[in-house]
């Protein structure tokens, strides 16, 4: 099966996702995965699709741009290669941070996670500025290899917390999900 990954950016408004998904359907593409969010006032969408064998990525991009003309949607299409990333057995964890907004927070936290061969699979960050800890939140979903030293990662994150005046918590995703279940 031939797959492509499509990224899209545009001003947020009702119907953006409907327009893009309808255009992909017209191109005989099947949606396999979708991730979309609103960042500030921008719609950001990522789509993994299976596509007809006779259609290449450049043609798909042109068809989407033609079909979506007038909607001011920036489209990028590239082939999706079979992934060989992170074949190591891992456990899912959640890292949450609360604290004052400071430049370099995301870089520092992700660098600490990477030093422990762990992979960030999802990040949500909300920065409203100032020193109120509840106004600035980062939630990282990470995969930690079973062979990694969880205590060492936790200690590194605690050191970052002290350096940046952050409250940093790390817990297994199952525990996090059960605690935050409504």
Q: Is residue 85 included in any domain, yes or no?
A: no
Specify the pLDDT at position 169. 94
Q: Is residue 37 included in any domain, yes or no?
A: yes
Please check whether residues 165 and 102 belong to one and the same domain: yes
Q: In terms of DSSP bridges, do strands 2-11 and 42-51 run parallel, antiparallel, or are they unpaired?
A: antiparallel
CATH number of the domain enclosing 40: 3.30.70.260
Specify the pLDDT at position 182. 59
Tens of pLDDT, residues 110-154 = 999 999 999 999 999 888 877 676 778 999 999 999 999 999 999
Tell me the pLDDT band of 102, cut-offs 50, 70 and 90: confident
Please check whether residues 112 and 171 belong to one and the same domain: yes
Specify the pLDDT at position 100. 87
- How many domains is the chain partitioned into structurally? 2
Please check whether residues 102 and 24 belong to one and the same domain: no
Specify the pLDDT at position 86. 54
As a whole number of angstroms, the distance between CA 151 and CA 145 comes to 13
Provide the angle, in degrees to the nearest 10, between the axes of the packed helices 57-67 and 16-26: 130
> What domain range is 100 assigned to?
90-180
Residue 66 dihedral angles phi and psi, to the nearest 5°: -65, -50
Given a cut of 60, whether residue 65 has pLDDT beyond it is yes
Please check whether residues 74 and 12 belong to one and the same domain: yes
Domain end, chosen from 60, 79, 98, is at 79
Average pLDDT over residues 61-89: 88
Average pLDDT over residues 60-64: 97
Is the overall model pTM greater than 0.85, yes or no?
A: no
């Amino acid at each position: 099966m031939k797959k492509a990954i499509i990224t899209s950016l545009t001003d947020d408004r009702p119907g953006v996702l409907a327009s893009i998904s309808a255009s992909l359907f017209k191109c005989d593409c099947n949606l396999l995965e979708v991730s979309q969010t609103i960042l500030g006032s921008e719609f950001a969408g990522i789509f993994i699709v299976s596509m007809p064998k006779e259609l290449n990525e450049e043609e798909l991009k042109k068809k989407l741009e033609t079909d979506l003309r007038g909607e001011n949607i920036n489209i990028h299409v590239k082939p999706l290669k079979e992934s060989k990333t992170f074949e190591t057995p891992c456990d899912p964890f959640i890292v949450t941070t609360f604290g004052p907004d400071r430049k370099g927070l995301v870089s520092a936290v992700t660098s600490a996670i990477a030093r422990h061969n762990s992979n960030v699979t999802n990040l949500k960050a909300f920065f409203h500025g100032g020193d109120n800890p509840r106004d600035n939140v980062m939630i990282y979903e990470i995969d930690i290899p079973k062979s990694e030293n969880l205590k060492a990662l936790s200690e590194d994150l605690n050191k970052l917390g002290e350096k940046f005046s952050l409250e940093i918590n790390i817990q297994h995703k199952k525990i996090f999900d059960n605690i935050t279940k409504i």
